[in-house]
């Protein structure tokens, strides 16, 4: 899983077990981020059955979002941002309930292997799983281009990572932050009924810290741009009447060892204390997410309903994470109708 930025009790940002941005030159950033993502997935691959409860709960949240769509289509579609090894997902069950399950990630090897295994294990998954990788969901954090390919029954959509926060590619830091806050994703990633961000936002913030030092005044600006942009891209990939589901880790046992022994019933008050003590992943506070979602949907003139689900504890190797989910249900337009095939 890697480590995350946190806010300490003095209000200053810090980093748990991670090299600072100063350890990498700008030219190294994109390669380092790609390597970091691949190493994280490789390390976690052996932990597939480490937390079956988390896997079931994540899948149930997705299926609940499907069942509560404003106008449930006969063949609903799903997009997962940050699919990785797919250890958080019951792909067989998702394929039984969605006509398309699109898996987007920076690490093409990890997600393609997960899909190949799913296709081999279940005929229900064949023809329903689509891989979009490598794709930078937080363009422009990294940059590379991969051609489309298809092999062993796995359909791989053409994708591109369009990025690079370097002086060569962007005229100024404000341009970089502006791009982070934008809605840009490869147009070959179609709009779907349900869009899920799967425990990836804290990882994106970790990547940002490799480009903009957390100890500079510019970091909070970039942090807001990244979070707002990530939420905006989720909403942008939702079809009208669809649902965006953000699932994010917010506190780690690295700074809150009580998570190792805490019961689920005690988690809510414990998290309140963590928030009061500023012991949480920078940028992931639910109040900040709520405010951004309200502003984004209001600016777009889209009536929306927000629902925060009860937090839970995710066991991953030696670490424990407090995780929460927020669901944004988009209302159908009053007059316009969008056909299922709209991939704008």
Q: How high does pLDDT run on average in the chain?
A: 79
pLDDT above 70 as % of the chain? 73
Strand partners, 155: 130, 150
Please give the Cα distance from 322 to 268 (Å, whole number): 10
**Number of domain units in the chain:** 1
Q: Which residue range(s) make up the domain with 66?
A: 12-327
Residue 185 lies in a domain: yes
C-alpha distances out from residue 9 to 39, 111, 147, 209, Å = 31, 37, 47, 20
Q: Is the peptide bond before 191 cis (omega within 30 degrees of 0)?
A: no
Across 36-64, average pLDDT = 74
CATH number for the domain spanning 204: value is 3.40.50.150
Place of tokens 């940059």: 143
The residues that bridge with 5 in the sheet, in sequence order, are: 15
Going by C-alpha positions, the residue among 69, 43, 1, 5 that lies closest to residue 210 is 5
- Look at residue 343 and tell me if it is in a domain: no
Residue with tokens 């100024």: 172
CA distances from 74 to 69, 97, 105, 130, 155 (A): 11, 10, 27, 19, 22
Structure tokens at 110: 């990890």
pLDDT for 147 equals 27
4 within some domain: no
Indicate whether 84 pLDDT > 50: yes
What is the predicted pLDDT for the residue at 138?
85
pLDDT digits (tens, 9 = 90+) for 314-342: 999 889 999 999 999 999 877 544 444 44
- The answer as to whether 188 is a domain residue is yes
Q: Which of 96-110, 170-184, 244-258 has the lowest mean pLDDT?
A: 170-184
Tens of pLDDT, residue by residue over 294-305, are 999 999 888 899
Is 339 inside a domain boundary? no
pLDDT at residue 312 tops 80 = yes
Taking alpha carbons only, the member of 267, 241, 247 closest to residue 320 is 267
Instruction: Give the range with max mean pLDDT: 17-26, 54-63, 199-208.
Output: 54-63
Structure tokens at 245: 């589901």
Residue 81 domain-assigned?
yes
Residue 334 lies in a domain: no
The answer, yes or no, to whether residue 211 has pLDDT greater than 90, is: no
What is the DSSP code string of 212-247?
S-TTSTHHHHHHHHHHHHHHHHHHHTEEEEEEEEEE
Q: What is the DSSP string of 305-319?
A: EEEEEEEEEEEETTE
Q: Look at residues 12, 7, 2, 5 and name the one whose alpha carbon lies nearest to residue 33.
A: 2
Assess if residue 296 is contained within a domain.
yes
Which helix (H) or strand (E) segment holds residue 35: the answer is: helix 26-44
Q: Write down the pLDDT at residue 42.
A: 56
Tell me the CA distances in angstroms from 340 to 76, 84, 88, 130, one per residue in order: 9, 27, 27, 17
């Amino acid at each position: 899983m890697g480590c995350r930025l946190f806010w300490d009790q003095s209000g200053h940002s810090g980093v748990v077990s991670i090299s600072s941005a100063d350890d990498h030159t700008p030219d190294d950033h994109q390669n380092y981020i790609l390597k970091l993502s691949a190493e994280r997935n490789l390390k976690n691959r052996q932990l597939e059955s480490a937390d079956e409860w988390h896997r079931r709960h994540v899948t149930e949240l997705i299926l609940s979002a499907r069942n509560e769509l404003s106008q449930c289509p006969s063949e609903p579609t799903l997009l997962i941002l940050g699919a990785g090894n797919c250890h958080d997902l019951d792909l067989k069950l998702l394929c039984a309930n969605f006509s398309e399950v699109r898996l987007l990630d920076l690490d093409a090897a990890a997600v393609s292997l997960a899909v190949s295994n799913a296709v081999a294990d279940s005929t229900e998954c064949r023809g329903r799983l689509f891989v979009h990788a490598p794709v930078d969901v937080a363009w422009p954090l990294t940059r590379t281009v991969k051609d489309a390919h298809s092999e062993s029954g796995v359909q791989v959509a053409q994708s591109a990572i369009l990025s690079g926060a370097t002086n060569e590619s962007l005229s100024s830091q404000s341009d970089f932050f502006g791009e982070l806050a934008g809605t840009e994703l490869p147009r070959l990633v179609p709009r779907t009924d349900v869009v899920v961000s799967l425990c990836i936002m804290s990882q994106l913030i970790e990547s940002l810290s490799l480009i903009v030092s957390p100890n500079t005044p510019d970091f909070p600006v970039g942090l807001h741009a990244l979070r707002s942009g990530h939420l905006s891209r989720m909403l942008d990939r939702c079809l009208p009447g669809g649902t965006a589901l953000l699932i994010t880790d917010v506190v780690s046992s690295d700074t809150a060892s009580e998570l190792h022994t805490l019961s689920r019933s005690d988690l809510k008050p414990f998290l309140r204390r963590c928030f009061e003590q500023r012991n949480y992943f920078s940028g992931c506070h639910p109040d900040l997410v709520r405010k951004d979602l309200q502003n984004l949907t209001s600016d777009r003139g889209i009536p929306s309903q927000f629902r925060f689900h009860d937090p839970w504890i995710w066991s991953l190797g030696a670490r424990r994470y407090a995780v929460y989910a927020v669901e944004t249900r988009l209302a159908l337009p009053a007059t316009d109708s969008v056909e299922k095939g709209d991939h704008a």
